[in-house]
Amino acid sequence: MLPLRQCLASPLLLQKQNEKVLKAQYFSPWKGEQQMYKLDIGWPKTPEDFTGQTFCVAVDSLHGLVYVGQRGDNVPKVLVFSQEGYFLHSWNDTVEMPHGIFVWNTETGSSVWITDVGTGKYGHTVKQYSPLGKLLQVLGTPGNAGSSLIPLQFDQPAEIFVEETGEVYVVDGDGGMNNRLLKLSDDYKEIWLTGSNGSGIGQFKIPHSVTVDAFGRVWVADRGNKRIQVFDKVTGEWLGSWSGCFSEDGPYSVRFTADYKYLIVAQLNINRLAILAAPPVGSIGDCVVVHSIQLADETKPHLVDVDMKSGAVYVAEIGAQQVQKYIPLS
């Protein structure tokens, strides 16, 4: 018998959760398709540690840690687990409503970046923390929603991606006034800014997630427009877009696999993870779904992250109020 997620207390919910584990692990949308991932049903060891809505997850591959951002009243906002699934500690200071989370490793240490979409005194900010939760840096004006005319004045910033060089990419925002992609230098000065509200080339309707590939391209989940847009990381120039894979639901999260051969995309409203073939250098082309993982109804996968060493995929699910781990089979 498969272990049940203990955080769902009633027998009916436990039954539904058990069904979700089975569906997520064994679903294959096309006959003969080779399974690419297997659900790690033993991660985490103590799922009751999830006490709120789990909105985001970030992997520290270098130190073997997994950070989870959750929301709710009187709950810790950041949970820290080992990659084996053991709960280690939590922290809460100056975090209001975490939306996106990212771990940045350098030669001298690591830090955790969080986008906060709260409307209180800590919201509308992008913040850097130590691994133990000490606030190191605040971008934006806490508590004040900003205008797209001011680069570092955010309105519900959705997600952040930080390169090894320290250069920062922010998608802003999650339903606020701003619909833009911003690149900052390692000392947080604007390098380029692109985007406005709309459905034209380079415009956004809720830019929700951002990642960078190994070939100098920035990928943005343009959720409301049901497409992914791609930009040159040096100039900010628009390179292309994918929309053919998203007629049923827009992309919520974009992350590359460890070998950069595939792009993992969460689709919240249809409870699915789509695995897309990454295009070669010099071409964007059309999106191609090579595999998908169908989750149970009301799971609602929101944001994902990938362990760039092991290849494991972690999925933050706001409906099921948990994070799940998928292990690559090859």
Residue pair 218/181 in contact (Cβ under 8 Å)? The answer is yes
Model pLDDT, residue 12: 37
Distance of CA 219 to the CA centre of its chain: 12
The order of strands in the sheet holding 301-306 is 37-39, 322-328, 313-317, 301-306
Model pLDDT, residue 308: 96
Model pLDDT, residue 78: 98
Half-sphere exposure of residue 283, counting CA atoms within 13 Å on the CB side? 7
The fold of the 37-328 domain, in CATH, is: Neuraminidase (2.120.10)
Residue pair 277/288 in contact (Cβ under 8 Å)? The answer is yes
Model pLDDT, residue 201: 97
Residue pair 228/220 in contact (Cβ under 8 Å)? The answer is yes
Give the global pTM.
0.90
State pLDDT tens for residues 232-242. Answer: 999 999 999 99
Euclidean distance between CA atoms 165 and 147, whole angstroms:
28
Model pLDDT, residue 33: 53
Listed by start position, the domains of the chain span 37-328
Low-confidence residues of the chain, pLDDT below 50? 1-32
Residue pair 288/295 in contact (Cβ under 8 Å)? The answer is no
Kindly report the length of the chain.
Answer: 330
